[in-house]
Structure 1
Amino acid sequence: MATSKSPAPAIDKPKNESDEILRVCSYHRSEFDTCLVRSHPRKLNEVSTCLQTAFDGPSSLDPDILARLSPESTTNILLQLDIKSYLTFRQVNRRARHVATNLHEYKLIAAHGLEGLKGLIRMKLVDKFTIRDLYLPLVNYKCAVCGDFGGCLFLLTCTRCCFSCINSSPELRVRPEFNTSPEHTAYNQNTWNGHITMVLGILDSLGGTMHVNHTLKPTTSAGTTQLVSLCLAILEMRHKSRSLPQLENTLMEQVDSQANRFASATAFPWYDLDTGRVERGVSCRGCHVRFDVLGAGNPQVLKDSDRLFSCGGFLEHFESCTYLQNYWRDIKGGKMADLSQGWPAPVMSK
């Protein structure tokens, strides 16, 4: 996966006007964040402080094996470790903590990608991915499925995706690990579960209510559920020649659960390597007005209302969105109240 490249340059506008368009015409869809896996902000801050803290320097009593390696060799070795091993290594001694804490990829994750890291830890997936696996989606804004701005991390594959794809993409379907339905008697369920757990990993989702406003009906996941990526599981079965058409058909015909989809993802910001800014994505007020006018009968209208943009991408979108241009013109002409008053500014920080 390529590293971060900023979206194509925004339409040439005076900076003050661009900032005002962003402030007035865009907003952050916080309900997208709340229906996914998340941690309490206070707990995240506590963990962040710990993960970013290194001692002033290595102790003279520490083994000097690391000191004999070149910085390049040390970096290459650390990037090969799975996240669980990396965090364990960081606790070995002062020198290990100093080296591991100051690795570029780790520093960015600890500072800006903590929700993704915490999600992988909570879901017991940290032995399946490396620090680099988590770093790459942090610095790449594109959804791995559709290419739009993605504001989520799909935990089962550690890839960036957008909310629309989490909600409906076949590539991101998940299913409970355990199923005792009669259709599965043609294949030993214990073999299935054991093999998939070993190769792909199992996500332990947490029960709770997950919902979002106009796009989805409230859904609930009851109790603790173990989830696997359906597409990856089927591909792995085919690769190992363990696939049965009857089993594949049964799996694909199972009801697609939005609650399970939401339980497999978390909100994940984008770190722009070119500017050093962090963005969580903004939505278009014009597309929201269009949805209110036309309703959810048109799938494209619904998709557009749920779409997220980077700040630069939003300014490009402004040039082609008639509803947004009319909204901006009415605001400037005093024909409509500025809905951004009392709303947070677009989420972008250094």
Structure 2
Amino acid sequence: MASAEGGLASLSHPPQETSREALQRELDDAIIRTAGSHRRDDALSVVHISPSDHSRVQSSILTSSIVSRTGLGALDRLPVELLLQALQHMDMQALFNLRRVNLRARQMIDSLKEYRAVVSHGLTAYCALLRMGLAAHVTLLDFYRVLCSQDCAFCGKFGGFVFLPSWIRCCFECIEEDPETRMVTVAEVRRVFRLSRAEVGRQRVCQTMPGLYRRRLYSTEKSYQRRRLRLLPWFPAMREFGDRLETKGVRARHWHRWDPAHNFMASCELPYYDSQIQAVEYGISCAGCEARTVEQDPGQASRPADVPWDRLFSRDNFLKHFKICRQAQKLWESSPEAALEAIIKRDVHHE
């Protein structure tokens, strides 16, 4: 488990802080480094793209190899404001294709604050959408809206991930546990509902990416998926074709087979972007709660759903949690950085 410092590396400090505010933020940063952690293993258990892969696609996403100075044809007849609004409502696949037309197209798209935020902080999710055939279902504004949200749409906790087929922010637990994130193979859906190819074509089918995926939520077991699978969300198909289960013989024949690993193959990490202070958060777990859990049951092989350290916090909520978590406070008090708190209290007292 990695230190929380790595998860906060890209946080930027708000401008024009007073000396007291700057000292308090420095103290908060020190507390997070000492008593918080960022669970990198979770991010590596879903769709993951290595930095080296990012470097190979940046030429098409962040720059353009086409240097033509021609215009955009009929699009140039639109007022600039209207053209920019149209670009914001385009899907991510269309934007990707349009940027490859010429330099003028690249400059127009790159001028959008939403696009700059997406490629700066959500590049893994963007690449996953493109490679899995889902980019045509997510507009730039859709992407930006979810990037700037921080709560899991299912349980309300901090959500450091996104469920790609429906483009919904979620937490790691809800990837497996919420019914809306259940993924099944196309072959299985066709078998259960007796779908035609045209009916399958109306569903949001995705092609999985090779990689190492978690088998179950509360297990450390992973499996390497070499071949690409065709998956689709179960519940949209159930809502549309569920009535067929009642009219085709014994219902037990239509029980569907579900592999929890498929849910993780359709999700990836997505940090929360605070557009006000232009900072990103990946979520912080409590090292104190984790230490207490290990002390209570060091041989525990699985984690119950209510284990406190399983929860991810936003920066502000972690600092609130720290005030009531005695184990986290002990970690802080035993840290060399705890002396910083005494300095701040002394400076505040002298103001």
Q: TM-score, normalised by structure 2?
A: 0.78
Q: Deviations over 1:226-253 (max 9, x none)?
A: 1111122222336xxx653478966995
Q: Paired residue for 1:118, among 115, 123, 127?
A: 127
2:304 aligned residue:
299
Q: How many residues align?
A: 312
Give the partner amino acid of 1:278.
Answer: V
Measure the CA separation in 2 of the matches of 1:235 and 1:217. Answer: 33
Measure the CA separation in 2 of the matches of 1:249 and 1:35. Answer: 34
1:218 aligned residue:
221
Change (3 A) 1:141 1:58: farther
Q: Quick one: higher RCO (CA 8 Å, sep 6+), 1 or 2? A: 1
In the TM superposition, 1:217-236 aligns within 5 A as 217-220=220-223, 221=225, 223-236=227-240
Q: Paired residue for 2:61, among 51, 58, 69?
A: 51
In the TM superposition, 1:5-84 aligns within 5 A as 14-53=24-63, 59=69, 61-63=70-72, 65-84=74-93
Does the residue aligned with 2:187 lie in a helix, a strand or coil? coil
Give the partner amino acid of 1:274.
Answer: Q
Q: Deviations over 1:78-137 (max 9, x none)?
A: 123222222222222322221122222111111111111100111111122212221111
Q: Deviations over 1:201-229 (max 9, x none)?
A: 21111344323899314142463221111
Give the partner amino acid of 2:112.
Answer: L
2:341 aligned residue:
none
Q: Paired residue for 2:194, among 188, 199, 214?
A: 188
1:197 aligned residue:
201
Matched-pair contact (CA < 8 Å) for 2:114–2:141: yes
Larger CA deviation: 40-49 vs 160-169: 40-49
Does the residue aligned with 1:35 lie in a helix, a strand or coil? coil
Measure the CA separation in 2 of the matches of 1:137 and 1:249. Answer: 38
Does the residue aligned with 1:22 lie in a helix, a strand or coil? helix
Measure the CA separation in 1 of the matches of 2:133 and 2:184. Answer: 17
Matched-pair contact (CA < 8 Å) for 1:84–1:127: yes
Does the residue aligned with 1:299 lie in a helix, a strand or coil? coil
Matched-pair contact (CA < 8 Å) for 1:36–1:266: yes
Change (3 A) 1:39 1:246: farther
1:244 aligned residue:
245
Measure the CA separation in 2 of the matches of 1:33 and 1:251. Answer: 37
Change (3 A) 1:301 1:278: same
Measure the CA separation in 2 of the matches of 1:102 and 1:331. Answer: 45
For structure 2, list consecutive stretches of 5 or more residues without a partner in the other structure: 1-20, 339-351
Q: Deviations over 1:136-195 (max 9, x none)?
A: 1111111111111111111111111111111322221111111289x73xx423x2x542
Change (3 A) 1:156 1:250: farther
Matched-pair contact (CA < 8 Å) for 1:155–1:266: yes
Change (3 A) 1:209 1:95: closer
Does the residue aligned with 2:48 lie in a helix, a strand or coil? coil
Q: Paired residue for 2:278, among 276, 283, 296?
A: 276
Matched-pair contact (CA < 8 Å) for 2:131–2:209: no
Change (3 A) 1:39 1:141: same
For structure 1, list consecutive stretches of 5 or more residues without a partner in the other structure: 1-11, 335-350
Does the residue aligned with 1:14 lie in a helix, a strand or coil? helix
Measure the CA separation in 2 of the matches of 1:106 and 1:205. Answer: 25
Give the partner amino acid of 2:269.
Answer: A
Q: Paired residue for 1:174, among 166, 183, 199?
A: 183
Displacement of 1:326 in angstroms is 3.1
Displacement of 1:20 in angstroms is 1.3
Measure the CA separation in 1 of the matches of 2:59 and 2:189. Answer: 44
Q: TM-score, normalised by structure 1?
A: 0.78
Measure the CA separation in 1 of the matches of 2:149 and 2:31. Answer: 25
Change (3 A) 1:213 1:86: closer
Change (3 A) 1:250 1:41: farther
